[in-house]
């Protein structure tokens, strides 16, 4: 179970008044569930992930992670690969020592990285770098997966390829997952449950379970659900 109950999170800005990013953000995700946070930009989605990652400690509220102190696989908004280490080294370095001997070939093959193990991040396209970041997130065999718009600024064809790869890898080992996105259709395609956030200060406006099995979410079905979702939460569009 992943539980989040953040009463408030305030950012001190360098010049000007403090910024209230989150007020009363409360939701929970069941074990093994894939949830998405959607909402307008600046509504505190990324802040919420940073709190879960332990990168923001100055907030008012409490969180409970599955298993207490779980191993977390994360994909940040930008790939954040160490530029001076190869793709394989980047993945290996993130792994706990016990996992470093296990072959990565299957994971790399699934993500279409097979020929790129020895490339440096600077030699990869953005799409490939994002795949490598996903490979790293999965290679640690996480108990919790946190994804911060991992497909942003990719062209639609590449993004949809990567979404399919994500589903494929995730289904091989279902993990409690929380993905932040502002792309409704992406959320509908991937999630078991969607939480809709308000504009800043962020709080949950409502949740929307996606009932259809992932395998049967055709483009038409995704479009229909997205329209339904958008009519229920007019702020989303």
Partner 1 sequence: MRSGFPILWSASSLLGLLALWWILALQADPRVFPAPPAVLDALLREAASGDLARHLGITLARVAAAFALAMSIGTAIGMALGMNRGLDRLFDPWVVLFLNLPALVVIVLAYVWFGLNEAAAIGAVAVNKIPNVVVTLREGARALDRAYSELAQVYRFSFASRMRDVVLPQLQPYLAAASRSGIALIWKIVLVVELLGRSNGVGFQIHLHFQLFDVATILAYALAFVAVMLLVEVLLLRPYDRHATRWRQPNA
Least Cα distance to 169 among 211, 195, 132, 218 occurs for 132
Q: Is 42 left (phi over 0), alpha (psi -120 to 50) or beta?
A: left
Evaluate the CA torsion angle 107, 110, 114, 120 in order and state its sign: negative
Minimum separation from the CB atom of position 90 to partner 1 (A): 9
Our CB check for partner 1 shows the closer of 119 and 182 to be 119
Our CB check for partner 1 shows the closer of 120 and 199 to be 120
Minimum separation from the CB atom of position 49 to partner 1 (A): 10
If binding is defined by CB under 8 A, does position 123 make contact with partner 1?
A: yes
Our CB check for partner 1 shows the closer of 87 and 205 to be 87
Our CB check for partner 1 shows the closer of 107 and 196 to be 107
Minimum separation from the CB atom of position 53 to partner 1 (A): 5
Minimum separation from the CB atom of position 46 to partner 1 (A): 12
* Binds partner 1 (CB under 8 A): choice among 42, 120, 217, 221: 120
Angle between helix 126-139 and helix 156-172 axes, rounded to 10 deg: 10
Binders of partner 1 among 53-92, rule CB under 8 A? 53-55, 71-72, 74, 76, 78, 80, 82-85, 89
* Binds partner 1 (CB under 8 A): choice among 19, 93, 164, 227: 93
Minimum separation from the CB atom of position 35 to partner 1 (A): 19
Binding site residues, partner 1, CB under 8 A: 53-55, 71-72, 74, 76, 78, 80, 82-85, 89, 93-94, 96, 120-123, 136, 140
């Amino acid at each position: 179970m992943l539980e989040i109950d953040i009463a408030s999170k305030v950012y001190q800005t360098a010049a000007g008044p403090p910024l209230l990013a989150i007020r009363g953000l409360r939701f929970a995700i069941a074990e093994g569930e894939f949830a998405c946070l959607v909402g307008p930009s600046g509504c505190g989605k990324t802040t919420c992930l940073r709190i879960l990652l332990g990168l923001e400690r100055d907030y008012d509220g409490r969180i409970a992670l599955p298993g207490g102190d779980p191993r977390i696989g994360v994909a940040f908004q930008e790939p954040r690969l160490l530029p001076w280490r190869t793709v394989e080294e980047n993945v290996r370095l993130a792994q706990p020592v016990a996992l470093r001997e296990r072959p990565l070939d299957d994971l790399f093959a699934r993500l279409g990285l097979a020929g790129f193990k020895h490339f440096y991040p600077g030699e990869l396209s953005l799409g490939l770098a994002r795949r490598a970041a996903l490979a790293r997130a999965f290679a640690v065999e996480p108990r919790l997966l946190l994804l911060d718009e991992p497909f942003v600024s990719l062209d639609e064809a590449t993004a949809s390829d990567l979404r399919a790869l994500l589903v494929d890898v995730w289904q091989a080992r279902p993990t409690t997952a929380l993905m932040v996105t502002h792309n409704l259709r992406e959320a509908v395609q991937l999630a078991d449950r969607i939480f809709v956030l308000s504009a800043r200060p962020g709080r949950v406006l409502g949740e929307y379970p996606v009932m259809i099995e992932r395998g049967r979410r055709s483009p038409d079905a995704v479009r229909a659900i997205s329209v339904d979702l958008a009519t229920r939460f007019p702020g989303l569009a």
